[in-house]
């Protein structure tokens, strides 16, 4: 099973964002966290900045929306040319219509579930989506610890995806280190988001890499 890496620019240096986008250009995707200070208690960036990142990024955009009213906003992020747009399942009014709108605008559609959200209702949506994101931390902040209790849910999602025969990706996001990436992949993840372990907790690129390569991931 191929494993894709999607570094999160939440831990990049926003003043030097174009530089930091190029420092991960051997990864597969770039993960862009959009937070609105309503769905989560943190505020990051919005549509105009995602549009601009789309113009300069060497990698396809993996946009992760942690916002209220994704039914209104998510299709607009898809229209920027984003490769993938993930909405938070708990915030969506009509997930099926929303997934169709995202796909209709040319992006892959994905649904994210928080650590305490049951996965089963979302497995009915496998025909309509291209990826499930199992959050392995409470959404809102980088640098948190991986919640191991989410692993049974990840395995349930893997089993349902495999049984469906559909090419639906399974992403994890939050607390990924050199240790937890192994746990996540062993439990079925094929797409890995990593912020602080790639860029460093200080918001600067990981000095241990010494190159433009995204790895090795830094533990802790």
- Residues in touch with ligand 5RP (CB under 6 A): 8, 10-11, 31, 33, 64, 66, 137, 139-144, 173-176, 193-197
Active-site residue, 62 included: no
Q: Cβ distance 219 to 179 under 8 Å?
A: yes
Tokens of 206: 């990981």
Among 27, 30, 59, 64, binds Fe ion (CB under 5 A): 64
Is 8 labelled a binding residue?
A: yes
Which of 6/187 has CB closer to Fe ion? 6
**Catalytic status, residue 33:** yes
Residue 140 binds which one of Fe ion, ligand 5RP, none, with CB within 5 to 8 A depending on kind? ligand 5RP
What distance in Å separates the CA atoms of residue 108 and residue 4, rounded to the nearest whole number? 15
Catalytic residue (one of 20, 62, 173, 190):
173
Does residue 190 interact with Fe ion by CB under 5 A? Answer: no
Long-range contacts of 42-47 (CB under 8 A, 24+ apart): 42/140, 42/141, 44/10, 45/14, 47/73, 47/76, 47/77, 47/80
173 binds Fe ion (CB under 5 A): yes
Q: What phi and psi, each to the nearest 5 degrees, are found at residue 146?
A: -60, 130
Residue 33 contacts Fe ion per CB under 5 A: yes
The catalytic residue among 28, 33, 62, 130 is: 33
**Taking CB positions, which residue lies at the least distance from Fe ion?**
64
Q: Is residue 158 a contact point for Fe ion (CB under 5 A)?
A: no
- Using the minimum distance from each CB to Fe ion, give the nearer residue, 87 or 187: 87
Cβ-Cβ contacts under 8 Å for 194 (sequence gap 6 or more): 5, 6, 7, 8, 176, 181, 217
Please count the residues of this chain forming the interface with Fe ion, following the rule CB under 5 A.
3
Q: How far is the CB of 193 from ligand 5RP (least distance, A)?
A: 5
209 binds, among ligand 5RP, Fe ion, none (CB under 5 to 8 A by kind): none
Interface ranges with Fe ion (CB under 5 A): 33, 64, 173
């Amino acid at each position: 099973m191929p494993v894709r890496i999607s570094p999160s620019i939440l831990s990049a240096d926003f003043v030097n964002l174009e530089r930091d986008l190029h420092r991960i250009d051997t990864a597969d995707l770039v993960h862009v966290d959009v937070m609105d200070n309503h769905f989560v208690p943190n505020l990051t960036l919005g549509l105009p900045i995602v549009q601009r990142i789309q113009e300069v990024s060497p990698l396809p955009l993996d946009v992760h929306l942690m916002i209220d009213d994704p039914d209104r906003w998510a299709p607009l992020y898809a229209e920027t040319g984003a490769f993938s747009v993930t909405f938070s399942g708990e915030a969506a009014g009509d997930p099926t219509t929303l997934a169709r709108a995202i796909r209709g605008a040319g992006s892959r559609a994905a649904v994210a579930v928080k650590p305490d959200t049951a996965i089963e209702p979302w497995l009915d949506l496998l025909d309509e989506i291209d990826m499930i994101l199992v959050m392995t931390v409470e959404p809102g902040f980088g640098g948190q610890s991986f919640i191991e209790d989410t692993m049974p849910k990840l395995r349930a999602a893997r089993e349902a995806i495999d049984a469906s025969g559909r090419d639906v990706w399974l992403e994890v996001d939050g607390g990924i280190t050199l240790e937890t990436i192994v746990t996540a992949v062993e439990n079925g993840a094929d797409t890995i988001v990593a912020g602080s372990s790639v860029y460093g907790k200080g918001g600067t690129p990981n000095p241990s890499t010494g190159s433009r390569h995204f790895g090795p991931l830094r533990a802790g």
